């Protein structure tokens, strides 16, 4: 398999481009950084990576130094059972023993470099369950925790049943897995959760959150939008941000709504829809400074 | 992985009793074949394959070491 090269402002963005071009999920990609150019203010301005689809049966293709984060087994100590603290687990223990948390022989392999998946994301302790957990909240929480168990994730959920929204907060030591790659897995979970019969029949929508994930992501997107807008202003050429979900695109549009020099629009379809930041058309010929 | 796919599919569809999941080896990979009632097909695939993609994401993350799992949705 030939290694193709991809470029981006940072490794994350280059990986996004690689995932799009190769048509595979991002965390199935292995990569090596080829070029890393520094900007004059110290930040990285351009990164070139080599990326390939990582396939366990095909490891010979991958450079030997690389261990793909998504496929490598979790470090042994990270899997050590968290004390479950005598909370009510909603009668799930029978299920857990039936399905069984498959023991992974790979776990005993040599340690590997830290990867985003291993990030210990501090969510704080799981709060106790409320005395009178509403029926819908309980039903959804049990479903979510059952799903986590079946995925082998050490995670708990606490659910609030609001008027229009079911809000679930996720706690536990595998939270970093949900957060990796800008919360790719969180988004997937939320898509699935919103399509479940439990949620559909309630007529509400589910929002998942974990730590300060949503808040941080909004901040990150706004920062990315402003940085890209500054670059557009500088060289006068439009730039496209990586593909984003509708919610994320909206955050970008709003962040630049009042920008005098650039305008934003969406380009593409479906998963690959992205926001383009372009110099404002009006007045571009006479470049009038008056607003 | 079969259990996981079955669990997710059954929570998505209107006719959980018609969910069938089979596991087949295909070379290095394990293929999980999912069959649902015809009018539930859209539920497991989703608009522009969103739901199917989300399921594949989750499956990939739940893989522990073992062989790679491919989700096939059959009609």
**Does residue A280 register a pLDDT over 60?**
yes
What is the rounded distance in angstroms from the CA atom of residue B13 to the CA atom of residue B6? 11
Is B41 in CB contact (< 8 Å) with chain A? Answer: no
Interface test with B, best of A58, A192, A196 (most B CBs within 10 A): A192
Task: Collect all residues with Cβ–Cβ distance below 8 Å to A191 and sequence separation of at least 6.
Answer: B46, B50, B51, B54
pLDDT in tens, A142-182: 999 999 999 999 999 999 999 999 999 999 989 988 988 87
What Rg do the C-alpha atoms of chain A give, in angstroms? 22
Q: So what's the pLDDT on residue A64?
A: 43
pTM: 0.62
Number of H helices, E strands in chain B: 3, 3
Q: So what's the pLDDT on residue A113?
A: 45
Q: Which residues in chain B come in under a pLDDT of 50?
A: none
Eight-state DSSP code of residue B65: S
Q: So what's the pLDDT on residue A264?
A: 95
Query: Higher pLDDT residue, A15 or A76?
Result: A15
Q: How far is B11 from chain A (nearest CA, A)?
A: 5
Q: So what's the pLDDT on residue A124?
A: 81
Chain A residue with minimal CA distance to B4?
Answer: A150
For A162, the token pair is 């609001």
What is the rounded distance in angstroms from the CA atom of residue A244 to the CA atom of residue A230? 20
pLDDT band at A33 (very low <50, low <70, confident <90, very high): confident
Q: In this complex, do B65 and A146 lie within 8 Å of one another by their Cβ atoms?
A: no
Residues B23 and B66: beta-carbon distance below 8 Å: no
For the segment A198-222, the average pLDDT, to the nearest whole number, is: 92
Task: Collect all residues with Cβ–Cβ distance below 8 Å to B48 and sequence separation of at least 6.
Answer: A270, A271
What is the rounded distance in angstroms from the CA atom of residue B53 to the CA atom of residue A20? 14
Nearest by CB to residue B28, choosing from A28, A56, A152, is A56
What is the rounded distance in angstroms from the CA atom of residue A10 to the CA atom of residue A16? 10
Query: Higher pLDDT residue, A14 or A44?
Result: A14
ipTM for the complex? 0.95
Strand partners, A47: A8, A36
**Does residue A72 register a pLDDT over 70?**
no
Q: In this complex, do A28 and B60 lie within 8 Å of one another by their Cβ atoms?
A: yes
Mean pLDDT, chain A, whole residue set: 77
Task: Work out whether strand B69-74 and strand B29-35 pair parallel, antiparallel, or are unpaired.
Answer: parallel
């Amino acid at each position: 398999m030939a290694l193709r090269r991809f470029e981006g402002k940072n490794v994350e963005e280059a990986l996004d481009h690689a995932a799009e071009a190769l048509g595979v999920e991002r965390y199935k990609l292995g990569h090596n950084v080829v070029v890393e150019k520094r900007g004059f203010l110290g930040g990285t301005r351009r990164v070139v990576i080599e990326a390939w689809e990582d396939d366990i049966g095909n490891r010979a293709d991958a450079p030997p130094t690389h261990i793909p984060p998504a496929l490598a087994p979790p470090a042994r100590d990270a899997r050590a059972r968290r004390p479950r603290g005598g909370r009510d687990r909603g009668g799930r223990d029978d299920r857990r023993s039936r399905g069984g948390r498959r023991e992974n022989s790979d776990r005993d392999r040599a340690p590997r470099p830290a990867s985003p998946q291993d990030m210990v994301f501090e969510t704080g302790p799981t709060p106790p369950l409320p005395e009178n957990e509403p029926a819908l909240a309980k039903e959804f929480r049990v479903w979510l925790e059952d799903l986590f168990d079946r995925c082998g994730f050490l995670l708990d959920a606490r659910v609030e049943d609001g008027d229009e929204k079911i809000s679930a907060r996720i706690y536990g030591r595998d939270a970093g897995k949900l957060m990796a790659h800008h919360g790719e897995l969180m988004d997937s979970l939320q898509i699935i959760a919103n399509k479940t019969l439990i949620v559909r029949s309630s007529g509400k929508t589910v929002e998942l959150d974990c730590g300060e994930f949503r808040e941080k992501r909004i901040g990150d997107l706004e920062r990315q939008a402003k940085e890209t807008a500054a670059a557009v202003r500088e060289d006068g050429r439009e730039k496209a941000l990586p593909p984003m979900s509708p919610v994320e695109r909206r955050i970008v549009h709003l962040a630049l709504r009042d920008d005098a020099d650039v305008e934003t629009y969406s380009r593409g379809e479906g998963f690959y829809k992205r926001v383009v930041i372009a110099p404002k058309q009006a007045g571009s010929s006479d470049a009038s400074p008056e607003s | 992985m079969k259990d996981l796919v079955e669990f997710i599919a059954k929570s998505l569809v209107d006719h959980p009793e018609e969910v069938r999941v089979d596991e087949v080896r295909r070379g290095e990979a394990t293929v999980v074949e999912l069959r649902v009632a015809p009018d539930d097909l859209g539920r497991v695939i989703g608009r522009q394959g969103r739901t199917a993609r989300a399921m594949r994401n989750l499956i990939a993350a739940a893989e522990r070491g073992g062989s790679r799992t491919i989700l096939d949705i059959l009609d």
